[in-house]
Amino acid sequence: MDNDAIAIAITGASGGCYALRLIERLVRERQSTIHLMVSDAARLVLRQECDLVLDHPPTAAAIARHLRIEEERLQLHPLDDWFAPPASGSAGIRRMVVVPCSMGTLARIAGGISHTLIERAADVILKERRQLLLVPRETPLSAIHLEQMLKLSRMGVQLLPAMPGFYHRPEGIADLVDFIVERIMDNLDLPAAGAQRWGA
């Protein structure tokens, strides 16, 4: 049982760059083992926004090559692989991040609709009362989005919207991405090296 492994799901909201940078920093700085799941819509977004073209199903090798990280740290699970560790509480995965989290995936998690491995993995984390962190991105937000988020928050899910601050005087997009990635890593209790901190 690998209690330190982290499940990461990339879904089809804008902001695939947050997921790629999070994976890169967790592997480089924290030597984390990652169980990765990529939705079909996320593949479209990664191609559109990050010039990352992935096969169907995607491979760990392609993502590791793109990020220049060790492939051994990444376990990529097809969305119908019900034998993958994230599909069962007995595998012992204690933390899961959905980044970026589409409103579709968020609503399905809130409704307990375990259609793909991503939703099943989140459902497992919830039933086991472990850590689930969602990084939604949509604007403006409808009452449906807000109600689902409130429901999840009341269940102990952490909602960390992709809303970077500007008080650290970002010099470019990379700084804005790191702002969100560092907040995610803080909340996972895996603080990022050199993170800018208020009052420091």
Ligand X SMILES: Cc1cc2nc3c(=O)[nH]c(=O)nc-3n(C[C@H](O)[C@H](O)[C@H](O)COP(=O)(O)O)c2cc1C
What would the two tokens of residue 47 be?
């191609």
Q: Write down the least CB distance from residue 136 to ligand X, Å.
A: 7
Q: Which is nearer to ligand X, 12 or 58 (CB)?
A: 12
Q: Which is nearer to ligand X, 38 or 67 (CB)?
A: 38
Q: Which is nearer to ligand X, 16 or 85 (CB)?
A: 16
Q: Which residue's beta carbon is nearest to the bound ligand X?
A: 12
Q: Which is nearer to ligand X, 13 or 149 (CB)?
A: 13
CA distances from 69 to 41, 50, 64, 123, 137 (A): 24, 17, 5, 29, 26
Q: Which of 184, 53, 54, 193 is nearest to 131 (CA)?
A: 184
Q: Write down the least CB distance from residue 90 to ligand X, Å.
A: 26
Q: Write down the least CB distance from residue 3 to ligand X, Å.
A: 28
Which residue in this structure is represented by tokens 């790629």? 20
Q: Write down the least CB distance from residue 98 to ligand X, Å.
A: 9
Query: Are the C-beta atoms of 133 and 94 separated by less than 8 Å?
Result: no
Residue 23: count of CB within 10 angstroms of its CB? 26
Taken as a whole, the chain contains a residue count of 200
Interface with ligand X (CB under 6 A): 11-14, 39, 41-42, 44-45, 48, 102-105, 137-138
What would the two tokens of residue 42 be?
């996320």
